[in-house]
Structure 1
Amino acid sequence: MNGDKLHQRSVQQTTTILKTPSNISINSLNLNKTPNYVQKTTEFRNHFCWSLADASFLKWTTADAFGLFKNHPIPCFFAVSLLFFMGVEYTLLMIPPSSPPFDIGFVATVYLHRVLVASPTINTFLAGLNTVFVGMQTAYIIGTLVIEGRPRATVAALFMFTCRGILGYSTQLPLPEGFLGSGVDFPVGNVSFFLFYSGHVAGSVIASLDMRRMHRWELAFLYDTLNLLQVVRLLSTRGHYTIDLAIGVGAGMLFDYLAGEYMKNAKAADDTTLYANRPRLS
């Protein structure tokens, strides 16, 4: 008799376990529902196909292609240059560690370098003129602040020389072979200096850009001409690599722009502060 009760109790427990709870419906499980990741994949595929069907290049015509070269020659030139230098880069033999760096500016100024080697007096004279030019650009940049009350060029120079110090210390390039130093060259005393990038060139660019903003066209042209002669002399004396001088031009433009943005934001902040401190009429 106890066995019958035990069997009956087991059947009841099994029935209770298999019984569906009253608050869950089989229909609510929706077994035919598409999984979420499948829906995401389908939506992405449909969106991609739609975007590809509306792609811009499918609407290009032959007239558009020829018009591109006619109306936008500079980007087209850059595109051709990209392909050319990709070929150069993949076929160029690298300079071995034991050899001095290759510099195309040094190759272009071989004759002038020989002249300066043979004539130390000319080298010293040109170095002195270059130092005078550095003094001219320094005086102009500081003068825009202390005399004219326009700090942008000074802020740009501070930004530029700080960044130059960081980069110049981070990667210290070897002094080029055949370097012709001079006691009157800047920095005066023939002391060590950072090669990357050229503060001579960057400072000249900052001064020239400020002159153009003030419509001092003749002075700006003079500074640009002297800057170009400075570049030739620095290459001839092996005082800078070509990349130092090229980045110097870009650095002057960049930090002049950043200084302008800084001044604009500073002025906006000052205006906001003044407006906030004004007494209200009510």
Structure 2
Amino acid sequence: MNGSDTTTTILCSPRNLHNRKTTVASSKGSVKSHNSEISMKKPLPSPSKAKSFDYHDACFLNWGVNDLIYLFKYHPIPCVFGFLLLFFMWVEYTLRMVPSTSPPFDLGFVFTQNLNRLISSSPALNTLLATLNTVFVGMQMVYIGWTFFVEGRARAIIATLFMFTCRGILGYSTQLPLPEEFLGSGADFPVGNVSFFLFFSGHVAGAVIASLDMRRKQRWELAYLFDSLNLLQAVRLLGSRGHYTIDLAVGVGAGMLFDSLAGNYEEGKRKVRGGINGVNGNGNGHFVDFVKVNGGGT
């Protein structure tokens, strides 16, 4: 085994990759001298003489027990995901599909059966919960509107526009059937018991967008309040069968995704227009600078 093979084997070890330290030369002259000595001693191989891959060179074949212990100790989350991958592969191969004549199976509906029975037996309670949910949606709208029209920060409202546009496209493209046990209310949002897209939940995504903005501005108490209300909102939506579980889960991811895209949009505009200080990737820019970035200001 030559020197390069030994180096590769050492670096293939997760522990050695983590603990590897780079040696910094004392001066540029010594670095150049060192590099020139290496080039004189061993010329670079030509492409025609490049070593072909051998399966014995596979990194994982050089791993030992200590490497595996290191992975479990310092990278537990990827290891858990790896086990879950195998578990759900087993579930997919052994689970019987839901027949086309049956309603969809939803684990969230199973967990909220008692709440569904309680709400269905009490129309007044259903109306009260629907009203509170609508109030919370109004709080989201007020906060996101405040960040734009009063504080002059555009990121939250851009994220909301992105989110609802994508929700409209996806919701129309695949229209999920309304759950059989759906408990509607004229006080629910959208107000008036009108039709709506199930996938994905704009209720949840909007609350996530607002909460992320609160965190950027270090409004921690308000962010925790919105997160708590968002969780209660999700449970209520499952109990009233107003959304499937997948609608709520994707709503959380959608809020994070479109908040990130809105930040990238602002950052891209800032770079294109020469680095205006008022707008940055953290969403701390003012509306005046945002208008300037988009060519509307002076």
TM-score range, shorter chain: 0.7 to 0.9
Structure 1 unmatched ranges of 5 or more:
1-42, 275-282
Supply the distance in 1 between the matched residues of 2:52 and 2:144 (Cα, whole angstroms): 56
Matched, 1:47 2:20: no
1:72 aligns with 2:75: yes
> Alignment partner for residue 257 of structure 2, among 247, 254, 259?
254
Secondary structure in 1 matching 2:238: helix
Which of 127, 143, 146 lines up with 1:143 in the alignment?
146
- CA–CA distance in 2 between the matches of 1:182 and 1:96? 30
Residues 268/180 of structure 1: CA separation in 2 closer, same or farther (3 Å cut) = same
Find 1:271's aligned residue among 271, 274, 277. Answer: 274
How many residues in Structure 1 have an aligned counterpart in Structure 2? 231
Cα distance in 1, alignment partners of residues 209 and 59 from structure 2: 41
Could you tell me how far apart the structure 1 residues matched to 2:61 and 2:86 are?
Answer: 23
Tell whether 2:65 aligns with 1:62: yes
Q: Distance in 1 between matches of 2:250 and 2:103?
A: 21
1:267 Cα deviation from its structure 2 partner: 1.1
Displacement of 1:53 in angstroms is 4.2
The CA distance in 2 between the partners of 1:92 and 1:233, in whole Å, is 29
1:125-164 to structure 2, matched below 5 A, reads 125-164=128-167
1:107 to 88, 107, 110: 110
Amino acid across the alignment from 1:191: V
- In 1, Cα distance between the equivalents of 2:115 and 2:257? 31
Deviations for 1:178-205, whole angstroms, at most 9, x for unmatched residues? 1000001000000000000000000000
Q: CA deviation at 1:272?
A: 6.2
Correspondent of 2:186 among 183, 188, 200:
183
Aligned to 2:175: 172
Shift of 1:66: 1.1
Amino acid across the alignment from 1:245: L
Is 1:94 aligned to 2:70, yes or no? no
Q: Which amino acid counterpart does residue 206 of structure 1 have in structure 2?
A: I
**Aligned mates of 1:155, 1:207 — CA distance in 2:** 12
Q: Per-residue deviation at 1:59?
A: 2.5
SS for the counterpart of 1:48 is coil
What's the offset of the Cα at 1:130?
0.3
- Pairwise CA distance, 1:268: 1.1
Structure with higher helix content:
1
The percent identity for this pair of structures is 67
TM-score (norm 2): 0.75
Structure whose alpha-carbon radius of gyration is higher: 1
Q: Does 1:202 align with 2:201?
A: no
User: Structure 1 length as normaliser, TM-score?
Assistant: 0.79
